[in-house]
Amino acid sequence: MDYVELGRTGIRVSRCCLGTMTWGSQNSEAQAHEQMDYALGRGVTFWDTAEMYASPPSPETQGSTERHIGSWLTKTGKRQEIVLASKVAGRGDAFGGLPWMRPGGQSTRQTRAQIDHAVEGSLKRLNTDYLDLYQLHWPDRPVRVFGGQTFQDYAQDFESFGDILEALDAHVKKGTIRAIGVSNEYPWGVMRFLAEAEAKGLPRIASIQNAYHLANRVFEYGLAEIAMREQVGLLAYSPLAQGALTGKYLDGKLPEGSRKALYNRMARYEGPGAEAAIRGYVDLAAHFGLDPAHLALKFCDTRPFVTATIIGATTLDQLKTDIDAFDLTWTEEMEKAVNALHALQPNPCP
């Protein structure tokens, strides 16, 4: 396993990051513990969660993922061996407000009071007194998130970048947060956070966690240059397009126990041209004698603007397959082949 610096923080993270959002919905506490044991044994020391998880969001499962991690930390005493990241929910308007996450049924926002509430809740559930990385799960601005290829303007009603950074800075000074990041963010937002941090001496964002995979390379249009020049590296989530890039849903297949079978929330990966593009990458993996998951994950791992690729698995076999991908060698022939397919059908799954 390779390790790199998280932004300019001095924190070293594994290039493979353990995603956890199925723990508490598709995975039991025992299965979550088994995954954590195995991942750490393979050198995966960077783990990502969120106050909202398990996914999909619901009042019944909210916080269960952090509780499963917390019980593992209590059992093993291995907090110092991992770099632990969590997230505070963004503006909840588009998701019915997510009222079960805040006192009094408020819609989630990134106000100082709500950030304080979220940090304290995560620390308690995780049974830890600090978070290595704390991320804004999506913006407080009512901007389109989680997919879409067109811009829609929005009301200029949002917490200011400076106010959000000041709220997070209070926790940095307390020692409950070591570094901060953003997620599902756009170039303007990243640059505004950086500008506010520099102007006011506030914490500098260290990372951006956005969707990125073979069928969604929109990060490269504006954010990749920022990631490299400003050392705000990408934490690539959904590198397998929620499993679609393994080919398991091609030709109408619906594997029992899969996320599509359970929740039918795959619209982001089923737009025009998606199946043809996915089939192309699955066939390309076969051409190179690779598991499709290996091709997709190693593609992300070899991008110069990526700090870490976030994997997620519901079975131990899937987890082993995912981690094995990071030991592969990426060739110039593979690079040319995936770029040729991308040119034919760019970004059908943004």
Catalytic annotation on 53? Answer: yes
Name the phi and psi angles at 129, rounded to 5.
-105, 5
Indicate which residue of 3, 53, 154, 186 is catalytic.
53
Q: Quick check: 140 and 164 in contact, CB under 8 A?
A: yes
To the nearest 10 degrees (0 to 180), the angle between helices 332-344 and 274-287 is 160
Task: Identify the helix (H) or strand (E) that includes residue 206.
Answer: strand 205-211
Question: What whole-number distance in Å separates Cα of residue 131 and Cα of residue 121?
Answer: 12
Name the phi and psi angles at 280, rounded to 5.
-60, -40
- Overall size of the chain counted in residues: 350
Helix (H, G, I), strand (E, B) or coil at 196: helix
Give which of 333, 331, 313 is closest to 322, Cα–Cα: 313
Name the phi and psi angles at 90, rounded to 5.
-90, -160
Q: Which residues contact 84 (CB under 8 A, 6 or more apart)?
A: 47, 49, 69, 126, 128, 131, 132, 133
Q: Return the active site residues.
A: 53
